[in-house]
Amino acid sequence: MGYPESILAQGERVVLHHHPHWKCLLVPTFVFIVGTALAGVGGGYLSTSDINSTAKLVLGIVIAVLWLGIVIWFFVRPLISWRTTHFVLTDRRVTYRNGIITRSGIDIPVQRINSVEFRHGLVDRVLRTGTLIIESASEDPLEFNDIPHVERVHSLLYHEVFDTRDGNDFRR
């Protein structure tokens, strides 16, 4: 079973399942490219330098370890975090799960949602992403950043809330 199906109640259906927008991976990708370029320049400089072979080996290992640390911490970790973050809208609730080792999540029943709004600036509009803000009955508003196609998600969520409140609760 896929991720959303494993958390569904009997008869519950997924309306929408998203990971954060890919723009979250732009900075990690840039750091990966720059880090790899710097490691390559360092390795190239090291191979043409006039220092003894033991020092070259030690410095080569240091460059490789630094590069590996940068790649793991600034690229692989955000990539795995992006992949393990889920925004799921079902016909009964909104579910948000994230985390790699320590998972956390929140479920908001559709019946408890008071208002739904979205916000996105110029860059977010070009990339078709934004922040979804959900206000439920007894909590402060919750903000979900980098939701792909945030206007569509806003519309779908609004219709789920509206249809549930009217008692229609139609099944597509």
Domain segments of the chain as ranges: 3-20+87-165, 26-81
Average pLDDT over residues 3-11: 79
Q: What is the pLDDT of residues 68-127, one digit of tens each?
A: 999 999 999 999 999 999 999 999 999 999 998 998 999 999 999 989 999 999 999 999
3-20+87-165 carries CATH number 2.30.29.30: yes
Q: In what order do the strands lie in the sheet with 14-18?
A: 14-18, 86-90, 93-98, 104-109
Q: What is the pLDDT of residues 48-78, one digit of tens each?
A: 999 999 999 999 999 999 999 999 999 999 9
Q: Assign 7 a pLDDT band (cuts: 50, 70, 90).
A: confident
List residues bridging with 18 in a β-sheet: 87
Which candidate, 115, 37, 21, 23, places its Cα nearest to that of 71?
A: 37
